[in-house]
Amino acid sequence: MILDINNIRSQFPILHQQVNGKPLVYFDNAATTQKPQRVIDALNKYYTLDNANIHRAAHTLAARSTEYFEQTRKAIQQFINAKEDAECIFTKGVTESINLVVQTWGRQFLQAGDEVVITTMEHHSNIVPWQMICEEKGAVLKVVPINDAGELLMDEFEKLLSPKTKMVSCVWVSNALGTINPVKEIIEKAHAIGAKVLLDGAQACSHMEVDVQLLDCDFLTISSHKLYGPTGVGVLYGKRELLEAMPPYQGGGEMIKEVTFAKTTYNEIPFKFEAGTPNIGDVIAFKYALDFVNALGKLNIAAHEEALLRHFVNGINEIHGIKLVGTALQKISVQSFVLNNMHHFDAGMMLDAKGIAVRTGHHCTQPLMQRFGLDGTVRASFAVYNTIGEVDILIEALRKLANLNN
């Protein structure tokens, strides 16, 4: 199926504006994707017609809101092929999803001397929480190294595994490099020595087919706002037996069955982990983002994005003075680079003056930047609504920047 990109772009009102007197070229999709009109309309409809708290009232608005909210949970189950929708827990984002696992599973099952394995390319949200619990429990945090292309050294990964390894928590796709990690192999090797596996799916779920049963991962995190949905919504998938064995993350309404001053009994999953009033409107709107992706087809989206990435890399390789950072053989449409004659922040500001939005800095991956001897990069990341023409605008702008001071 060949995608009609003009039709797709027409569904994103934010794209049709000028920034600094130039047509907006939005290449910061790894930070957050833009939202199609159907998502915006769903959010507006909720607050216009359906606004009510869910699960706890008998009136019509509450019943409608509850139904729409739970429809999103069912849509997520189908999107990732979980066994049941109860294995899908709503959070405020991937960061909270990882912290939930760390503060429940980690506190329950990690002991002094146990080992947790992460990788060099992790986002800070998959580093700091594990550092915190390892320090608290006396556990050891180990790190898988990478090569100069930004690929995991799998032989070194195997050497780090031992009977003491209790968790392997790794990013499926690097937000800074675009590298696709061999997560099926990672899961199989970790399970072989009795360890659990958490996959950070923030970047993967908008670009790749996801089947948690086929992968056999124990946990998977999902970000709505990087999947054309609203901000403030995330999902933690976990196998039922693990979620049931984990203590509650927060106390309050919804996560209880019965409360007395003497004792509280907790609700069933997923509600055990969803204390308080959730982000109802944004969760409901998230379903419409999933519908958008499903209608286009993940494989079709991936093929278009791959063409954009290939065109960009070919163009950049012809420009003297620009170095690509992250050249793995298996990548999604994310490319970091540095200009030899310019600080990455200055480059980002000069591109912004031309209406081109990119990300600059360490991308919440400071240890990864240190591995490459950098304090940051410029990062261009492409989505389904981007065009070859837009990529050419970026290439030409970078050619001019690279020629400055030369």
Q: Across the chain, which distance is largest between two alpha carbons, in Å? A: 75
pLDDT at 170 over 90: yes
According to DSSP, residue 339 is labeled E
As a whole number, mean pLDDT of residues 310-322 equals 96
As a whole number, mean pLDDT of residues 181-202 equals 98
pLDDT tens per residue across span 340-361: 989 999 999 999 999 999 999 9
Task: Give me the torsion for CA of 234, 240, 244, 246, rounded to 10°.
Answer: -50
Cα–Cα distance for residue pair 319/396, rounded to 1 Å: 10
The one-letter code for the residue type at 281 is G
Cβ neighbours around 223 below 10 Å, total: 25
The model's confidence at residue 402, banded by pLDDT at 50, 70 and 90, is: very high
% residues pLDDT > 70 (the chain): 100
Q: pTM of this prediction?
A: 0.96
**What pLDDT score was predicted for residue 406?**
59
**What pLDDT score was predicted for residue 168?**
98
pLDDT tens per residue across span 202-251: 999 999 999 999 999 999 999 999 999 999 999 999 999 999 999 999 88
The model's confidence at residue 253, banded by pLDDT at 50, 70 and 90, is: confident
**What pLDDT score was predicted for residue 247?**
93
pLDDT tens per residue across span 122-140: 999 999 999 999 999 999 9
As a whole number, mean pLDDT of residues 84-101 equals 98
Cα–Cα distance for residue pair 236/218, rounded to 1 Å: 10
pLDDT at 174 over 70: yes
The one-letter code for the residue type at 130 is W
Beta strand spans in 230-374 (E): 234-238, 256-259, 264-266, 322-325, 334-339, 356-357, 359-361
Cα–Cα distance for residue pair 172/86, rounded to 1 Å: 23
**What pLDDT score was predicted for residue 258?**
83
Cβ neighbours around 373 below 10 Å, total: 6
As a whole number, mean pLDDT of residues 81-106 equals 98
Cα–Cα distance for residue pair 225/210, rounded to 1 Å: 17
**What pLDDT score was predicted for residue 405?**
57
**What pLDDT score was predicted for residue 159?**
98
Going along the chain from its start, the domains and CATH numbers come out as: 5-31+297-403 (3.90.1150.10), 40-294 (3.40.640.10)
Per DSSP, the three-state class of 350 is helix
**What pLDDT score was predicted for residue 70?**
97
pLDDT tens per residue across span 28-87: 999 999 999 999 999 999 999 999 999 977 899 999 999 999 999 999 999 999 999 999
Is pLDDT larger for residue 265 or for residue 216? Answer: 216
Rounded to 5 degrees, φ, ψ at 340 are -65, -25
Task: Give me the torsion for CA of 254, 91, 106, 220, rounded to 10°.
Answer: 130
**What pLDDT score was predicted for residue 267?**
84
**What pLDDT score was predicted for residue 199?**
98
User: What amino acid positions are annotated as catalytic residues?
Assistant: 364
Rounded to 5 degrees, φ, ψ at 22 are -125, 150
**What pLDDT score was predicted for residue 361?**
94
Round the average pLDDT of the chain to a whole number and report it. 96
